[in-house]
Structure 1
Amino acid sequence: MGTAKIALALIVAFFFQSCADLDEDPTQSQLAPGQFSSLEDFNLGVTGVYGKLRTAAQWTTFNVFGWAGDDMTTHKALNKAPFREYDQMNVSGDNPRSLSNWNDVFSMIRAVNTVIESAEGMNVTDQDGYNRLLGESYFLRGTLFLHMSRIHGRIPLPLTSVPDFDIALASQEEVYVQIEKDLLLAESLLPEIYPGVEQGAPRPNKGSAQAILSRLYMNWAGFPLKDNAKYTDAASVAKKVIDNHSAHGFELLSDLNNLWKVENRFNKESVWTIAYNNPANLGNRKYGILGYPSDVEGGWSETFAEVRFFEDFPEGPRKEATYRTDLDWKNFKDQVQPVFTKIAGPLGDLPSQWSTDRNDFYMRYAEVLLNYAEASGRSGNNGADAWEALNKIRRRAAGKPHNIPDPSIDVTSGNLAELAFTERKWEFAGEYLRYNDLVRMERVEEALNDSARTPLDPNIPIANPVLGSLSTDNYYAPIPQIEIDLNPNLDPNN
């Protein structure tokens, strides 16, 4: 074994020895290899993975690919170069944020593999409890694989706790098949609702697994595989969630303004929540002052709204809930960009600090509804239920009750798929989701070319003009070069 591979082996060994430190209570987790002797051990193993997830997801690095979308941008200078590379479609193999995220997520996947193996063959009296934890483990692995595939496209698929130093990249289809397998297992094992947890499924239920499956199938149906049959699957599984949303504890919040308030950090709209606890030094470090320029609230100038996207955004209650329109952003001295309410927080809600109690709504029920509407349209099923799913989002965006039909808002004809796709553009602005939509529909060039991003106000320049290619061969971020150096099988050109 070469020196580099020996070093990697030592890193893996250290991970298994030290990962217990990543849980809420360092004495209450178990990720070391070995057979679990009780469901308590099994539960501690799973919560140990959540400790790692929180440690990784608390940073913007976890969502670094979001900057490639036309909805958000970063500072034009300062220490934001790794984010600017994504913002400008010019990501290098040495991007430190890519490497950090790669290491974090694959260490979580190895941890899940250890938990699954340690739970094999257990003799238990509480079969439901065992199934729940096993389903949760497969949910975590499938969701993490999907998270990485949306960033890098083809990825390796480690399925055991034993490191494979020569593992190769899987094909895109193999990646999706494995994610589907994990999530279907999770769906079969998880309960309708996880007992004893807050709203928003901070520990997933059956509906959470089905929701992520709908996201998988939307990607599978689009670029690069373009398997149109998966739109039928996406619509079918999203409909399962919709039909049983009450049993899973899911529902749209009535007022978008309330969705982003700290007091509603656990709410019914999130179909899977990554929870934080700032007083316990387990805060979320993606929000608050990171969304302000330096001359406002002592901002850290990391996550801004794109000017043209803001200018094009339809006026109304949803725009008011998405952006801090109370701020005179055109007169900012540091950088002239609008501020996201979703990042900086509603007026007076988030303190002027970099670590907060805000939870992450990894996927919202709104996305399930729009997945159903768009996938139905693209698979040729323009039924009344699909239009209703779209109209629920449109009504709330207009400040109307989402469950009450409103002829002044509702649409019942036209291109359902494209109407739903456009609705996603506005609904999820600033949530690190837009770029993936552009990729799956091959609309990166359409959205990111200079004319599409140039502000309507001629006095405002594009903060970070695109430097890289907008063609399909530049849609995904490269595998970190140091990983390829350690294992040439991860080079997509091999």
Structure 2
Amino acid sequence: MRKYKISNLLGIGVLLMTLAFAVSSCLDLDEDPAKSRLAPGSYSNQAELELGVTGLYVQLEAMARMTTFMVSGWGGDDITTHKVSNKADFREYDQRSVSALNARSATNWASIYSVVRAANNVIANAKDLKLSDQNAQNRLMGETYFMRALVYMHLTRIHGRIPLQLQPEPIVDLPLASQEEVYKQIESDLKQAEAMLPLIYPNVSAGAPRPNQGSAKAILARLYLDWAGYPAKDQSKYALAAAKAKEVIDNQKSYGFSLVTDLESLWTIANRFNSESIFTIVYNQPLGVGNRKYGMLGHPSDLKGWQETFGEIRFFEDFPAGPRKAATYRLDYDWENFTDQTNPVFKKIVGPKGDIPLTSFDTDRNDYYMRLAEVNLIFAEASGRSGNVTPAAWEALNQIRRRAAGKPFATPDPSVDLTSGDIAELAFTERKWEFAGEYLRWNDLVRMERVKEALSQRNPRTSKNKAGELLKVSNPIIGSLEKDNYFAPIPQNEVNLNPNLGN
């Protein structure tokens, strides 16, 4: 039996009741039941469809607020967890020794399929619905397809082949789909979303807390980049990734997107809604749904932290000095002499000085599921790997490089700009630094088959404590770095229920 803390249930319950009240206030309570002849469970009006779609966001927020949602991120060479304490499930990913009994994997799997089932229900219940406001119906259905694609893509990045549940009632003995089938289903859903979503979702804050057409295009570009790499290795998808990313870049104003000038501002509470986010997962601490991935979870016990997420030492040492490094890490900390765990602290996790109180477990920090910076770098990398390098691709790369150097990103600067070389590899390396601590690095290593190369070079070279002793890796690798260990095993409890998942 899965156990939940009472406080979690109450918080989610408060949010559900609040959202339900807001939507139900629009219902026509005098509607004649005789006029509604749809099958039981089918939607008969816009308010019911809206309530169904709202439920998807409630489930996504409840799932994504915990670091469990990002569990595979600890596999990257940028992130590590605590060397003891109660982080064993994260350490398994960190040390590349993930068990089928990993509790975080099991929770994540169940939560994601809960969102899938809810999305399937919305699609089925809206099958015969004909609203007078066709635009509203389109955007609500577009959100539903977007959400199903999002969570399926998130799960396949962790486990590889997964079962594709596409009906309201789950098929209990469903086999694993091939990787190609998984990608094609995600592509189909995202194309549906792209066709149905508006340029900008009406009446929402910056950063697409409700996805728009540009959000769907951007996630499609990310999908195609994955599809071109391991394990599918369909290199024809590089051209599609570049084309879709360019559509977003060329039309970013129409979608309300733009790079922010100050990189560090992205990690502040005050700027949690901003134009760089392609899709934002929103949290609200007063309603009981605070984000539990930030604040004290990134501090050691020396600073009253919950010691969950730290920076890898070697990655920190290799990180180029400059404004971007200062925006990524708390350089004001004497982390080499922490008594608990000697690892760098991510500013992206704990916030700039004075932004998040040291004692904050729940915060109002939003999640940027994808940033426009990633779209720029997908365009640059995929252009190079597809053999179609243009000045626009160099400009996309250089905008990220300029900002990293503390320069105006839209102004050419010969001291920073690149116009020759292997743009694909330059963009891949730029991703390494730009997204450090954002749980993206592991997937990049997998798709380019560079896990062994990266994780075999983690020993600190220069970081020493006051005694002059060279620091050690907190969580040494104990599992295989070969391709057969890239994807986490499907949770054993799921295999017990459906032995087909073990094939």
TM range (shorter): over 0.9
Match of 1:119 in 2: 126
In the other structure, the counterpart of 2:471 is 460
Deviations 1:212-250, CA, capped at 9 Å, x for gaps? 000100100000111110000000000000010001000
In the TM superposition, what is the alpha-carbon distance from 1:55 to its structure 2 partner? 0.5
Q: CA deviation at 1:26?
A: 5.8
1:179 Cα offset (Å): 0.3
Give yes or no for the alignment of 1:276 onto 2:283: yes
Alignment partner, residue 226 of structure 1:
233
- Contact kept in structure 1, 2:313 and 2:344, CA below 8 Å: yes
- Rounded to whole Å, the distance in 2 between the matches of 1:88 and 1:100 is 20
Report the equivalent of 1:368: 375
Offset at residue 25 of structure 1 (A): 1.8
Name the residue aligned to 1:43: 50
Confirm or deny that 1:182 pairs with 2:189: yes
- 1:1-16 map, 5 Å: none
Corresponding position of 2:251 = 244
Letter of the 1:23 partner, please give it. Answer: L
Asked whether the 8 Å contact 1:272–1:362 carries over to 2, the reply is: yes
Indicate the residue corresponding to 1:335 in structure 2.
341
TM-score by length of 2: 0.92
* 1:470 aligns to 2:487 (yes or no): no
Q: 1:350: which partner in 2? A: 356
Partner of 1:55: 62
Which runs of no fewer than 5 residues in structure 1 stay unpaired?
A: 1-6, 9-18
Mapped partners of 1:386, 1:324: distance in 2: 32
Counterpart in 2 of 1:13?
Answer: none
Q: Secondary structure at the match of 1:272?
A: strand
Preserved CA contact (<8 Å) 1:287 1:356: yes
Q: Which secondary structure does the structure 2 equivalent of 1:27 belong to? A: helix
Aligned partners of 2:309 and 2:228: how far apart in 1?
30
1:27-84 superposed Cα distances (whole Å, 9 cap, x missing partner): 3479x97111111111111011100110000000000000000001000000010000
Q: Judging changes above 3 Å, is the alpha-carbon distance between structure 1 residues 175 and 333 closer, same or farther for their aligned structure 2 residues?
A: same
In the TM superposition, residue 455 of structure 1 has moved relative to its aligned partner by 4.0
Hey, what does 2:402 align to over in structure 1? 395
User: Structure 1: how far apart are the matches of 2:452 and 2:145?
Assistant: 36
SS at match of 2:301: coil
Distance 1:104 1:199 in 2: 27
Q: Is the 8 A contact 1:85 1:92 kept in 2?
A: yes
* Equivalent-residue separation in structure 2 for 1:433 and 1:33 (angstroms): 42
Distance 1:466 1:179 in 2: 33
Report the alpha carbon displacement of residue 453 of structure 1 after superposing the two structures with TM.
Answer: 3.9
Q: Deviations over 1:270-324 (max 9, x none)?
A: 000000011111100000000000011x100000000000000000000000000
Q: Any conservation in 2 of the 1:23–1:52 contact (CA below 8 Å)? A: no
The one of 138, 148, 166 aligned to 1:141? 148
Aligned identity (percent) is 60
Separation (CA, whole Å) in 1 of partners of 2:478 and 2:40: 46
2:201 partner SS: coil
2:32 corresponds to? none
Between the aligned partners of 2:94 and 2:143, the Cα distance in structure 1 is 34
Q: Which residue of 2 aligns with 1:106?
A: 113
CA deviation map 1:137-188 (0-9, x unaligned): 0000011110000000000110011111101110000000000000001000
Does the 8 A contact of 1:211 with 1:368 survive in 2? Answer: yes
Q: Normalized against structure 1, the TM-score is what?
A: 0.94
Correspondence for 2:27: none
The 1-side partners of 2:480 and 2:278 are apart by 35
Aligned-partner residue type, residue 295 of structure 1: D
- Does 2:71 match 1:78? no
Q: Which of 412, 415, 424 is equivalent to 1:408?
A: 415
Gap runs ≥5 in structure 2: 3-11, 25-38, 464-468
Correspondence for 2:8 = none
Amino acid across the alignment from 2:345? V
Contact 1:455–1:461 under 8 Å retained in 2: no
**Corresponding residue SS for 1:53:** helix
Q: 1:207 aligns with which of 200, 211, 214?
A: 214
The whole-number CA distance in structure 2 between the counterparts of 1:22 and 1:259 is 26
- Assess if the C-alpha contact under 8 Å between 1:93 and 1:478 holds in 2: yes
| Contact 1:250 1:271 survives alignment (8 Å) | yes
Give the Å deviation of 1:452: 3.9
How far is 1:22 from its partner? Answer: 6.1
**Which residue identity lines up with residue 16 of structure 2 in the other structure?**
D
Q: 1:416 to 1:33 in 2, by over 3 A?
A: farther
**Structure 2 match to 1:305:** 311
8 Å contact kept, 1:66–1:433? yes
Q: Deviations 1:67-123 (Å, cap 9, x if unpaired)? A: 000001000000010000000000000000000000001011000100111111112
Q: Output the CA distance in 1 between the equivalents of 2:209 and 2:16.
A: 15
Distance, in Å, in 2 between the alignment partners of 1:124 and 1:233 is: 34
Amino acid at match of 1:130: Q
Tell me, in whole angstroms, the C-alpha distance in 2 between the residues paired with 1:337 and 1:176: 37
What CA distance in whole angstroms lies between the structure 2 residues aligned with 1:78 and 1:84?
Answer: 10
Determine the structure 2 residue equivalent to 1:11: none
Whichever residue aligns with residue 496 of structure 2, its letter is D
Q: Using the alignment, how far apart are the partners of 1:162 and 1:419 within structure 2? A: 46
Does structure 1 conserve the Cα–Cα contact (< 8 Å) formed by 2:14 and 2:288?
no
Give, in whole Å, the separation in 2 of the partners of 1:206 and 1:88.
Answer: 39
Contact 2:15 2:289 in 1 (8 A): no
Which of residues 166, 178, 181 in structure 1 aligns to 2:173?
A: 166
Instruction: Pick the aligned partner of 2:322 from 308, 316, 320.
Output: 316
Count of residues in Structure 1 that have an aligned counterpart in Structure 2: 473
Once the two structures are superposed, residues 178-210 of structure 1 have per-residue CA deviations (whole angstroms, 9 ceiling, x without a partner) of 000000010000010100000000000000000
User: 1:21 offset after TM fit, Å?
Assistant: 7.0
Q: Which amino acid aligns with 1:318?
A: R
Give 1:351 deviation, angstroms.
Answer: 1.8
**Residue of structure 2 aligned with 1:23, choices 13, 16, 21:** 16
> Is the CA contact 1:136–1:203 (under 8 Å) kept in the aligned structure 2?
yes
The aligned residue for residue 424 of structure 1 is 431
Aligned-pair Cα RMSD in Å: 1.6
Instruction: Note if contact 2:20-2:51 (Cα within 8 Å) is conserved in structure 1.
Output: no
Which secondary structure does the structure 1 equivalent of 2:270 belong to? helix
Report SS of the residue matched to 1:266: coil
Q: Which residue of 1 aligns with 2:161?
A: 154
What is the match of residue 14 of structure 1? none
CA deviation map 1:376-418 (0-9, x unaligned): 0000011000000000000000000000000000000000000
Residue aligning to 1:3: none
Cα 1:40–1:319 change in 2 (3 A) is same
Query: Which residue identity lines up with residue 460 of structure 1 in the other structure?
Result: L
Taking the aligned partners of 2:484 and 2:17, their CA distance within structure 1 comes to 41
Give a deviation string over 1:401-457, Cα, whole Å, max 9, x none.
0000000000000000000000000000000000000000000000001x3444433
> CA separation in 2, counterparts of 1:184 and 1:456?
49
Match of residue 490 from structure 2: 479
The residue identity in structure 2 corresponding to 1:210 is: K
SS across alignment from 1:123: coil
Partner of residue 30, structure 2: none
**Secondary structure of the structure 2 residue equivalent to 1:25:** helix
Q: Secondary structure at the match of 2:245?
A: helix
